């Protein structure tokens, strides 16, 4: 018994115990099931370039889907809609939004500087559209393959389940960055087209040069992409739980909406700092002079925690489950 | 059963072993989550346990230390939490005295700083001598800053992109948000916003009705501090205790906590989370109105006797034109409402234009408690700190005291 428990905690030694056992009736099947993951594969580890190839093929698969292109199209449309709405609203020379400063963040600044459409666009898409797109892609990553019966063919290649999972997660992360950049690029294009560009007014009321503003916009896009990594890990974990792609996507997006609602209920303030979307809008702190780091750091720490917990949970589930489809 | 007990190894045994090994993998996420939870739970506890070892000091010496504190240069971040137990009508903004006839616009410090009186806020402060101060209220994706540099006072509200500008003469050279706040002071000075200003307000209340003690030490914003505890000796006040953490080196108050006598959460909890007593960069206090922002000029006269009279956490009754009844913590301010009529509970049937519609009156009644006494009848409006009695014949009694004390004061005034 004790030996078995020791084995259970060590990843590698179990296969030693299996191979040490004489071949029984089920031994062949059992060994086969462990092949993608066992030490024999570790010993003839493919070159790192090969892993990159796996990642590249995953990424191409993700990006080539019509579904993904449609999601990116919707994301690109949001800043366009905001830009046109603000332009129409302010045609007579009025200011955008009520003077009290309600409405989405940064909207009132868009008429002065088109670059603010990038911030307004990201602030508008970050609560729902962006994470929904990530939820669809992450939820589909494993469960979608299982659903269409292609997962076992992927595992036939001597890549190992861990590496496949990493490639899948890396492709989801790449999609996070891609989706964020699509929003930012579309917003920048529309902003430059419809509104003047120039010196940027930070929310502390100071002015920075346009180049500095662009750098900050890029940093904010990167930060938004990083804010989505926790959500992506969560989606990946849910994706390993089920064999139905639709179920995984629906569960991920449903969970996102639930958590967003919980984050709005004042009575739950005790748990809110641990909800993954809680610090999402902190990216605005990058526009203060000097930058206010507290919330930014908290956001990144929280995302790292979600990635560690749900990434390892996805690994535990995916490397241990029976692949039947 | 040992797995290598070869002769008896069956498929079930191997499945069991494989199952265990697989189950063990789930220990990784659980372990990560556990470590994170332990870190979140233990690190603050460990940090709090090590109170600094400082030489003993008497309360008198500590108060002198605060008074002698001449730290003119400071920059830092403070958190202010206020819980008066008021319903949130969009912050306290709607109760705030609006800056002179609404001329101030939304960036006017009068209306804006009142929002600090409720909820939780993060504030950045920087000061370099009496002529240069900056205070920024950090909101979600917006910021409200007030910059005082020499004769100029600028305020900028990023949410509405509006600028407020006022030229101040010599009378404006008070420490922003701090200094000896006078009841009729300019708006930024009239509302205590930093731990230092709050502490000065509290120390003004120190008199024979108060017990002042030094209660150990603590760490605030990474600095060693003494804890000064101010407790009212009288009964009847709603103020339970005031704790002030005073920097052990330079006597600057770093944290201010006011707990109500009724128990529960602190009514006011304001403290630095980060503080630096070095000289802030000169550019911190530069301000030029951003392009495209709406600028409101204020000549300063409109505020001379408006604004800033309303909200006071301290019980020393600084309401202009008010009679102060009682002493120390139990002082109650008496105001006579012009027109001699209880505003919210005006008896129906009088018709006049001052009358409140029945629905509105019902709503106002639901906010307060009806009381009767020798003085007649009236309504008591309660918060966790300040209570007010509005009598039906138009007198208002306000103080940081409980309901009975208000009724007694009203009876005595009769």
pLDDT at A99 over 70: no
pLDDT at A5 over 70: no
Instruction: State the architecture of B69-204+265-298 in CATH terms.
Output: Clam (2.50)
Q: How far apart are CA B172 and CA B301, in angstroms?
A: 12
Tell me if B291 and A284 make a contact (CB, 8 A cut-off).
no
pLDDT digits (tens, 9 = 90+) for A48-95: 666 688 888 888 988 888 989 999 999 999 999 999 999 888 876 555
In chain A, which residues have their Cβ closer than 8 Å to the Cβ of B18? Answer: 14, 18, 30, 34
In chain A, which residues have their Cβ closer than 8 Å to the Cβ of B124? Answer: 292
Contact of B165 with chain A, judged by CB distance below 8 Å, is answered with no
What is chain A's percent helix, strand, coil content, to nearest 5?
75, 0, 25
**The token pair that represents B74 in the structure block:** 């400071």
Q: Is A107 helix (H, G, I), strand (E, B) or coil?
A: helix
Q: What is the largest CA-CA distance in chain B?
A: 104
- Where chain B has pLDDT below 50, the residues are 1-3, 5-7, 88-104, 170-190, 302-320, 340-354
pLDDT digits (tens, 9 = 90+) for B21-57: 777 888 888 998 999 888 888 777 766 666 777 888 8
pLDDT digits (tens, 9 = 90+) for A74-85: 999 999 999 999
Q: What angle do CA A282, A283, A287 make, to 5 degrees?
A: 110
Helix A129-148 / helix A66-89 crossing angle, nearest 10 deg: 170
Nearest to A101 among B4, B18, B160 (CB): B160
Which chain A residue is nearest to residue B158, measuring alpha carbons? A203
Confidence at residue A100, expressed as pLDDT on a 0 to 100 scale: 43
Contacting A residues, span 99-158, partner chain B, CB-CB under 8 Å: 99-101, 105-106, 108-109, 111-113, 123
Contacting A residues, span 285-314, partner chain B, CB-CB under 8 Å: 285, 288, 292, 294, 305, 308-310, 312-313
Contact (Cβ atoms closer than 8 angstroms) between residue A293 and residue A302: no
Nearest to A8 among B11, B20, B156 (CB): B20
Confidence at residue A175, expressed as pLDDT on a 0 to 100 scale: 95
Nearest to B4 among A20, A284, A309 (CB): A20
In chain A, which residues have their Cβ closer than 8 Å to the Cβ of B24? Answer: 8-9
Cis upstream peptide for A290 (omega within 30°): yes
Which chain B residue is nearest to residue A25, measuring alpha carbons? B11
Between residues A286 and B307, the one the model is more confident about:
A286
Taking the alpha carbons of B26, A273, B76, B167 in that order, is the dihedral positive or negative? positive
Q: How far apart are CA A186 and CA A130, in angstroms?
A: 14
A149-154: average pLDDT: 85
pTM, two decimals, is 0.75
pLDDT digits (tens, 9 = 90+) for B151-195: 888 888 888 788 888 886 544 434 444 333 333 333 344 455 567
pLDDT at A169 over 80: yes
Q: Out of A11-25, A48-62, A240-254, give the one with best mean pLDDT.
A: A240-254
A192-201: average pLDDT: 89
Given the cut 0.90, state whether the ipTM is greater than it. Answer: no
Nearest to B290 among A5, A201, A310 (CB): A201
pLDDT at A122 over 90: yes
In chain A, which residues have their Cβ closer than 8 Å to the Cβ of B159? Answer: 100-101, 108
In chain B, which residues have their Cβ closer than 8 Å to the Cβ of A7? Answer: 3, 17, 20-21
Tell me if B143 and A288 make a contact (CB, 8 A cut-off).
yes
Confidence at residue A239, expressed as pLDDT on a 0 to 100 scale: 94
Match 């259970």 to its residue by tokens: A8
Q: How far apart are CA B318 and CA A94, in angstroms?
A: 42
Contact of B10 with chain A, judged by CB distance below 8 Å, is answered with yes
Q: How far apart are CA A16 and CA A36, in angstroms?
A: 15
Which chain B residue is nearest to residue A295, measuring alpha carbons? B140
Residues 6+ apart with CB under 8 A from B137: B112, B115, B116, B121, B122, B123, B143, B144, B145
Say how far residue A291 (Cα) sits from the centre of its chain: 25
| CB contacts < 8 A (A, B) | 166
In Å, how far is A101's CA from the nearest CA of chain B? 4
């Amino acid at each position: 018994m004790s030996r078995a428990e020791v084995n259970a905690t060590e990843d590698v030694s179990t296969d030693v115990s299996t191979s040490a056992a004489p071949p029984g009736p089920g031994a062949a099947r059992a060994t086969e099931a462990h092949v993608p993951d066992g030490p024999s594969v570790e010993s003839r580890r493919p070159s790192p370039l090969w892993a990159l190839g796996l990642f590249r093929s995953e990424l191409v698969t993700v990006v080539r889907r019509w579904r993904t292109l449609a999601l990116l199209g919707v994301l690109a449309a949001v800043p366009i809609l905001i830009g046109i709405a603000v332009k129409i609203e302010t045609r007579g020379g009025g200011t955008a939004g009520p003077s009290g400063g309600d409405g989405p963040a940064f909207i009132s600044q868009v008429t002065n500087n088109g670059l603010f459409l990038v911030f307004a666009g990201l602030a508008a898409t970050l609560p729902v559209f962006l994470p929904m797109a990530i939820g669809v892609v992450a939820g589909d990553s494993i469960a979608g393959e299982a659903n269409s019966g292609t997962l076992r063919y992927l595992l036939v290649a001597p890549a190992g389940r861990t590496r496949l999972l990493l490639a899948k997660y890396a492709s989801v992360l790449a999609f996070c960055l891609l989706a964020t950049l699509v929003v930012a690029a579309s917003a920048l294009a529309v902003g430059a087209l419809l509104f003047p560009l120039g010196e940027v007014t930070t929310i502390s009321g100071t002015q920075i040069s346009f180049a500095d503003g662009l750098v900050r916009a890029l940093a904010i896009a990167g930060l938004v992409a990083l804010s989505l990594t926790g959500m992506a890990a969560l989606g990946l974990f849910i994706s390993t739980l089920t064999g139905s792609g639709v179920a995984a996507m629906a569960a991920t997006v449903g969970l996102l909406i639930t958590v967003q609602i919980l984050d709005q209920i004042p009575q739950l303030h005790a748990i809110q700092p641990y909800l993954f979307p809680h610090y999402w809008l902190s990216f605005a702190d990058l526009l203060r002079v000097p930058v206010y780091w507290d919330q930014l750091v908290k956001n990144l720490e929280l995302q790292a925690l979600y990635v560690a917990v749900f990434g390892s949970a996805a690994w535990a589930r995916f490397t241990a489950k029976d692949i039947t489809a | 059963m040992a797995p290598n007990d070869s002769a008896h190894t069956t498929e079930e045994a191997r499945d069991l072993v494989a199952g265990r090994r697989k189950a063990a993998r789930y220990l990784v996420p659980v372990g990560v989550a556990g470590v994170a939870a332990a870190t979140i739970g233990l690190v603050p506890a460990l940090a709090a346990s090590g109170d600094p070892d400082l030489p003993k000091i008497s309360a008198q010496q500590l108060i002198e230390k605060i008074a002698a504190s001449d730290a003119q240069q400071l920059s830092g971040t403070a958190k202010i939490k206020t819980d008066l137990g008021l319903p949130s009508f969009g912050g306290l903004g709607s109760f705030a005295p609006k800056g002179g006839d609404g001329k101030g616009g939304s960036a006017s410090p009068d209306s804006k700083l009142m929002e600090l009186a409720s909820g939780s806020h993060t504030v950045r402060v920087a000061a370099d001598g009496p002529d240069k101060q900056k205070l920024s209220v950090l909101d979600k994706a917006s910021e409200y800053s007030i910059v005082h540099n020499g004769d100029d006072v600028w305020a900028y509200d990023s949410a509405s992109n509006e600028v407020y500008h006022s030229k101040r003469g010599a009378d404006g050279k008070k420490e922003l948000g701090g200094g000896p706040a006078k009841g009729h002071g300019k708006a930024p000075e009239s509302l205590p916003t930093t731990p230092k200003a709050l502490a000065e307000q509290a120390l003004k209340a120190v008199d024979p009705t108060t017990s002042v003690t030094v209660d150990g030490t603590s760490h605030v914003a990474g600095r060693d501090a003494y804890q000064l505890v101010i407790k009212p000796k009288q009964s009847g006040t709603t103020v339970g205790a005031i704790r002030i953490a005073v920097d052990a080196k330079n006597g600057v108050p770093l944290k201010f906590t006011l707990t109500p006598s009724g128990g529960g959460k602190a009514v006011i909890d304001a403290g630095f989370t980060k503080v630096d007593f070095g000289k802030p960069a000169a550019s911190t206090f530069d301000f030029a109105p951003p392009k495209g922002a709406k600028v409101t000029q204020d000549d300063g006269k409109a505020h001379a006797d408006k604004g800033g009279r309303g909200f006071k956490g301290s019980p020393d009754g600084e309401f202009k034109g008010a009679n102060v009844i009682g002493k120390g913590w139990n002082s109650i301010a008496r105001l006579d409402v012009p027109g001699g009529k209880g505003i919210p509970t005006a008896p129906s049937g009088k018709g006049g234009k001052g009358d409140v519609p029945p629905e509105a009156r019902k709503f106002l009644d639901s906010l307060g408690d009806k009381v009767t006494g020798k003085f007649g009848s009236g309504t008591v409006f309660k918060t966790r700190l300040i209570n007010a009695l509005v009598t039906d014949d138009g007198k208002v009694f306000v103080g940081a005291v409980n309901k009975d004390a208000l009724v007694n004061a009203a009876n005595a005034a009769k």
